[in-house]
């Protein structure tokens, strides 16, 4: 394939940091928190809470898109979306997902895999009410992932929602949060000559705690 862009020559050496076993917290949520804090502090115009979310159909056909992290803790990594969207349909049939954070300005990625569940309706409503009014209208106006005739149709739906609900639009029935409860974390730090540092956390055998392994780059 010919292209004016010399894609093959795009190449960067990763030299900013190293990651040693002794740097790691024994709890991956604590480790994530430390890296996330640093990503927020140094992220400038980037969105440090943007994460790729991979889902799959029950027979294993994958898809991936970016969503925003809205909270995390031992109960899971939280995001909000439309339950009837393509990802929502995947998760209804196959409630597992993978997340990926790429904090390029720190030469880091974190990859997470876990079981997915919906958050309570109450929690979704609580969060919905805290969203800017425009985003609330947007969630009501859009049948996410469905084909639409044109932009005009979307604007017509928006005007309808605004007229109908005024200043207090309700949480759509098909909108809410999901939690990804991790059973695998990987922390990746770019290093020179592609000899990166990678550490895998898996639940420790016999319950409680996590075991940590270094992986080849």
Ligand X SMILES: Cc1cc2nc3c(=O)[nH]c(=O)nc-3n(C[C@H](O)[C@H](O)[C@H](O)COP(=O)(O)O)c2cc1C
Q: Which residues bind ligand X (CB under 6 A)?
A: 47, 50, 63, 65-68, 79-82, 85-87, 144-145
Nearer to ligand X, 66 or 159 (CB): 66
Nearer to ligand X, 132 or 207 (CB): 132
Nearer to ligand X, 145 or 162 (CB): 145
Q: Give the residue numbers marked as catalytic.
A: 194
Report the nearest approach of ligand X to the CB of residue 154 (Å): 14
- 196, 188, 200: which is closest to 28 by C-alpha? 200
Q: Give the total residue count for the chain.
A: 217
Report the nearest approach of ligand X to the CB of residue 205 (Å): 35
Q: What is d(CA 42, CA 18) in angstroms, rounded to the nearest whole number?
A: 17
- 200, 180, 184: which is closest to 96 by C-alpha? 180
Report the b/e string of 98-122 with b at 16+ CB within 10 A: bbbbbbeebbbbbbbbbebebbeee
CA 63-181-28 angle, 5° bins: 110
Which residues, including other chains, have CB under 8 Å from residue 93's CB and lie 6 or more apart? 57, 58
Nearer to ligand X, 136 or 196 (CB): 136
Report the nearest approach of ligand X to the CB of residue 201 (Å): 25
Q: What is d(CA 117, CA 102) in angstroms, rounded to the nearest whole number?
A: 24
Report the nearest approach of ligand X to the CB of residue 18 (Å): 29
């Amino acid at each position: 394939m010919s292209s004016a862009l010399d894609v093959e020559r795009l190449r960067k050496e990763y030299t900013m940091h190293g990651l040693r076993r002794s740097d790691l917290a024994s709890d991956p949520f604590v480790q994530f928190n430390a890296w996330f804090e640093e990503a927020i502090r140094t992220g400038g115009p980037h969105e440090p809470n943007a994460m790729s979310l991979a889902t799959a159909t029950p027979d294993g056909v994958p898809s991936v898109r970016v969503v925003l992290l809205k909270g995390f803790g031992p109960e899971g990594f939280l995001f909000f979306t439309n339950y009837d969207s393509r990802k929502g349909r995947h998760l209804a049939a196959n409630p597992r997902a993978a997340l990926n954070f790429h904090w390029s300005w720190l030469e880091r990625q974190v990859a997470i895999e876990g079981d997915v569940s919906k958050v309570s309706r109450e929690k979704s409503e609580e969060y919905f009410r805290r969203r800017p009014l425009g985003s609330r209208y947007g969630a009501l106006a859009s049948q996410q992932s469905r084909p639409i005739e044109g932009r005009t149709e979307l604007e017509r739906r928006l005007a309808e929602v605004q007229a109908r609900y005024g200043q207090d639009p309700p949480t759509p029935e098909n909108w809410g949060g999901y939690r990804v409860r991790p059973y695998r974390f990987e922390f990746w730090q770019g290093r020179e000559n592609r000899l990166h540092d990678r550490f895998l956390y898996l639940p420790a055998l016999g319950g409680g705690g996590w075991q940590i392994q270094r992986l080849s780059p």
